[in-house]
Amino acid sequence: MEEGKLSRKDFLRRTGGLLAASIVPMSLVEIACGGRGKGTHEKFTFAFISDPHLTHIKGTNFVRNFDSGLNKAIETVNLMFPRPDFVVFGGDLAQLGKREELDHGMELLSKLKVPVKYVIGEHDYYLDLGNYWQDKISKLNYSFDHKGVHFVVLNSILTYDTWIKRWKTPEERMNEMARLDNPNGSPFMVGDDQITWLKKDLENVKSGTPLVVLSHSPLYKIYKPWNFWTDDAETIQSILSRFDNVTVFHGHVHQVLYNQIKNISFYALMSTAWPWPYPESYTQSPNYIPKMTVFMNRQDPFHERDGTGWAFVNMDNAREEMHYKLWENKDRIVKYDDSAGHPVDSEYQKPESRILPQTHY
């Protein structure tokens, strides 16, 4: 093996050991889409880094812990051999959308040695409504094809014009949207213009083509008081309904979460910054947490890397197998079960097999 490079096998073995000492906050996605045994699509790998929430303090000072999480992900991607074809960044590079935060994040991400596909989050957007992001980083929505898979990137964190015009300053608007449990927040949505674009984009894509959708907020409804919510999610699901297999990867919720709605499998990615509690811990409003999701347990809530992590996803015959890697915690494997018709945790799905979650957040 060439010095400084790791085979995939060695990478898995070494990072398994590294988890005992440090977090590797990255998600690695390997796709081997063959169309249920057809085997006509080329295997490839991409990595997924999400929600670092880089926070500017003063001058050149930023919150160290959040920088550390993102740097660890970048370093791990660069150690991979063979390298992934590209990296998907899942949004919320900044905490309050400041140019200092976005520039700092791009400086860190520039160390990646493979191309990056960007998804915008609400913390990147609501200070200037995405203008700096579009000028310096990426389009807000786009699509691309890679080795037989059609990828769609959506800006799922738009909201209503009446709410946007409600605030006196951009900073006030950003601060109101940045808070998790703010009753003055507003639900996310994809919006009519982007829905029109999505329909046009998919017109010439065959229903048997593997489709991967990348968004920041989940494209289904979980918990409105915390904005784990996309108002027009059902419209997006309807547009995707003609495809044989659709997988949605999203950030925003900072926790292990999986779901199945008709032909669409949903998987949340871990954050490199911090975990959120599950909405069931806040009982004042109903939640729609997927019943199939087995909650992650918290190994050490007092450690700065607790609840952050990474995952592998393998897709075989257009079905996924996701490996959640949690800091100093037992790995979780969640994969699509044809007999069940939805993702199933390979070890903990049966209630009698589960380890207790920690609910005292």
List, for residues 49-90, the tens digit of each pLDDT value: 899 999 999 999 999 999 998 998 898 888 878 888 888 899
pLDDT of residue 303: 84
Where residue 188 falls among pLDDT bands split at 50, 70, 90?
Answer: very high
pLDDT single digits (tens) 224-271: 999 999 999 999 999 999 999 899 999 999 999 999 999 999 999 999
Token pair for 62: 């930023």
Tokens 């995405």, residue located? 130
**pLDDT recorded at residue 15:** 43
| Mean pLDDT value across residues 182-196 | 95
Tokens of residue 159, six digits: 């909201």
pLDDT tens for each residue of 82-121: 888 888 899 999 999 999 999 999 999 999 999 999 999 9
Beta carbons of 88 and 51 less than 8 angstroms apart: no
* pLDDT for res 227: 93
Question: What DSSP state is assigned to residue 83?
Answer: P
Helix (H, G, I), strand (E, B) or coil at 181: coil
Q: Indicate the DSSP class of residue 295.
A: P
Query: Which tokens hold the place of 133?
Result: 């992001």
| Higher per-residue confidence, 89 vs 286 | 89
Give the number of other Cβ atoms within 10 Å of residue 199's Cβ. 10
Q: What is the pLDDT of residues 29-52, one digit of tens each?
A: 555 444 433 445 677 878 888 999
318 confidence band (pLDDT: 50, 70, 90): low
pLDDT band, residue 319 (cuts 50/70/90) = low
Per-residue pLDDT at 57: 97
Chain centre distance of CA 29:
11
Write the single-letter amino acid at 224: K
User: Average pLDDT of the chain?
Assistant: 85
Confidence class of residue 360 from pLDDT cuts 50, 70 and 90? low
Is residue 218 within 8 A of residue 252, CB to CB? The reply is yes
- Strand-strand pairing, 246-250 and 264-268: parallel
Asked if pLDDT for residue 19 goes beyond 50, the answer is: no
Task: Return the minimum-mean-pLDDT range out of 62-71, 186-195, 302-311.
Answer: 302-311
Beta pairing class for 319-326 and 332-337:
antiparallel
Q: What does the block give as tokens for 350?
A: 């049966």
Tell me what pLDDT residue 14 has. Answer: 44
User: Starting from the edge strand earliest in sequence, which strands make up the sheet with 86-89, in order?
Assistant: 116-118, 86-89, 44-49, 27-32, 309-316, 319-326, 332-337, 342-345
Q: Which residue's entry shows tokens 């920088």?
A: 67
pLDDT of residue 103: 98
Q: How far is CA 303 from CA 65, 278, 298, in A?
A: 11, 18, 10
Q: Please report, rounded to a whole number, the percentage of residues in the chain having pLDDT higher than 70.
A: 84
Amino acid 11: pLDDT: 43
Question: pTM for the full model?
Answer: 0.88
Q: Under a CB-based contact definition with an 8 Å cutoff, are residues 70 and 54 in contact? A: yes
Cβ atoms of 170 and 164 closer than 8 Å: no
Using one digit for the tens of pLDDT, what is the confidence trace for 146-164?
A: 888 899 999 999 999 999 9
Decide: 89 and 272 in contact? Cβ < 8 Å. Answer: no
Alpha helices in 179-305 (DSSP H): 192-202, 233-239
CA distance 205 to 198: 11
